[in-house]
Structure formats: structure tokens, C-alpha cells
Amino acid sequence: MKLIIGGAFQGKKTFAYTLCPEVSFIDGARCAAEDLFSCGGIYHFHEYIRNLSLIHISEPTRPY
């Protein structure tokens, strides 16, 4: 696994494409959970986590 981090607009996605040209990347802001298992890389992963968190927040809680 390779994790590429940095500031906004620093060329991380372009760097990832040049580092691993054979890998298929998906956009975490628009992908489904099933897509994560079939891709080789993901960008905007923080957006995927945010969407996942919003889904859990909006679900009603179970009564105990």
C-alpha cells in the first residue's frame, strides 16, 4: 500500500498516476462501498469517509 499525502492542489493525484500507471483509480466522493474492492487506488478518500459518516448519522438509532 502506498499513501500519498500533502496539501491542497499539490499534484498528489498526478503523482499517483505517474507512480502507478497500471492502477485503476476511483473517486471516493462518488464510489460505492463495493467499488473499493475492485479498484487499485482511490482519491478523495476523505470524501468517502465523510459520506459513510453521514449515512450512519442519518440512520435512526435502534431502541435498546
* Residue 35, domain member (yes or no): yes
| Grid coordinates belonging to 1 | 500500500
3-59 pLDDT, tens digit per residue, is 898 888 899 999 999 999 999 999 999 998 889 889 999 999 989 998 887 766 655
pLDDT of residue 10: 92
Report the Cα–Cα distance between both ends of the chain, in Å, rounded. 40
Number of domains in the chain: 1
Report how far Cα 22 is from the mean position of its chain's Cα atoms.
18
Please, which residues have CB within 8 angstroms of residue 16's CB and are 6 or more apart in sequence? 2, 4, 23, 25, 41, 43
Please give the residue range of the domain that contains residue 27: 20-58
pLDDT of residue 24: 93
Please, which residues have CB within 8 angstroms of residue 48's CB and are 6 or more apart in sequence? 28, 29, 31, 36, 42
* Residue 29, domain member (yes or no): yes
pLDDT of residue 57: 63
pLDDT of residue 62: 59
pTM tops 0.85: no
pLDDT of residue 8: 86
